[in-house]
Amino acid sequence: MADNRTRLLSLFRQRAFSFGKFTLASGKESSYYVNSKKALFNSEALALLADALWEKTKDLDIQAAGGLEVGAIPMAVALAQRYHLEGRALEGFFVRKQVKDHGSKDRIEGVVPPGSRVAVLDDVLTTGGSVQQAITELEKIGARVAAVICIVDRLEGACELLSPRYNYLPIFTIRDFGIER
């Protein structure tokens, strides 16, 4: 797994990082931006991510995994497929940022029965505010958060917000990419 993690880190460094002046979802300004979609839609990176997510979740006794659209969608699909390859069932889901004005009008898309133990996924966390939206919606329907997992923790408050209440399991921190906070 160490070689896979190193390769995943390399792919994210090459494909997902941009440097310049950016405004983040948190409203903060940053000299770098992590656009995980540039890595997540690559077949090798997605397979390696599935491995990393499997390692983080295989002992958690979860029934579902997902998070806020858009970043969590490929993560949930990759993990659900990996669970299937391991002979285990897992439901994938995503939480809409806003309810659509047609159809079922559900914020949570997928099957997450009340009482389900879930892993909440997100690609990049700064303050943790976005992932907290997903957690709130899941807790409203009676899901129990077994873990919160992100690909990259920017080390700007997410850990402090989440770890007192949840099992917080980042795959990488920004320091893994040679950026100091």
Which has the higher per-residue pLDDT, 129 or 148? 148
Alpha helices in 95-162 (DSSP H): 129-140, 158-162
Per-residue pLDDT tens digits for 32-48: 889 999 999 999 999 99
* Tokens read off for 69: 């659209």
DSSP string, 26-94: TS-EEEEEE-THHHHTSHHHHHHHHHHHHHHHTTS--SEEEEETTTHHHHHHHHHHHHHHTT---EEEE
Q: What CATH number is given to the structural domain containing 54?
A: 3.40.50.2020
- Whole-model pTM: value is 0.92
Q: Please determine, for residue 64, whether its predicted confidence score (pLDDT) is greater than 90.
A: yes
In a domain, 72, yes or no: yes
Q: Please determine, for residue 102, whether its predicted confidence score (pLDDT) is greater than 70.
A: no
120 cis-preceded (ω within 30 degrees of 0): no
Q: Please determine, for residue 1, whether its predicted confidence score (pLDDT) is greater than 80.
A: no
In a domain, 24, yes or no: no
* Tokens read off for 96: 């809409």
Q: Which of these ranges, 19-33, 37-51, 140-154, has the smallest mean pLDDT?
A: 19-33
Q: Which of these ranges, 18-32, 64-78, 133-147, has the smallest mean pLDDT?
A: 18-32
In a domain, 86, yes or no: yes
In a domain, 160, yes or no: yes
Domain with 58, as residue range(s), is: 49-177
In a domain, 41, yes or no: no
CA distance 22 to 29: 6
CA distance 156 to 19: 17
pLDDT at 180: 76
In a domain, 92, yes or no: yes
Q: How confident is the model at residue 27 (pLDDT cuts 50, 70, 90)?
A: confident
In a domain, 26, yes or no: no
In a domain, 145, yes or no: yes
Cβ atoms of 112 and 91 within 8 Å: the answer is yes
CA distances (Å), origin 178, targets 9, 80, 151, 169: 11, 31, 15, 19
CA distance 156 to 111: 32
Q: How confident is the model at residue 108 (pLDDT cuts 50, 70, 90)?
A: confident
CA distance 122 to 56: 13
If one counts the domains in the chain, the total is 1
Which has the higher per-residue pLDDT, 70 or 159? 159
Report the candidate in 32, 11, 14 with the shortest Cα–Cα distance to residue 23.
32
